[in-house]
Amino acid sequence: MNIIQVFEQFPTQESCINYLESVRWAN
């Protein structure tokens, strides 16, 4: 997944941040 796909899937900053945090802390 590239950054463009991320922004297309998460158009709002909040949802994008929530996604990135969930991925970051999933490990």
Can you tell me the distance from the alpha carbon of 6 to that of 16, in angstroms, rounded to the nearest whole number?
7
Mean pLDDT of 3-22: 75
pLDDT digits (tens, 9 = 90+) for 14-27: 777 777 888 887 66
Write out the DSSP string of the chain. --HHHHHHH--SHHHHHHHHHHHHHH-
Read off the pTM.
Answer: 0.37
Closest among 13, 12, 14, 16 to 1, alpha carbons compared: 16
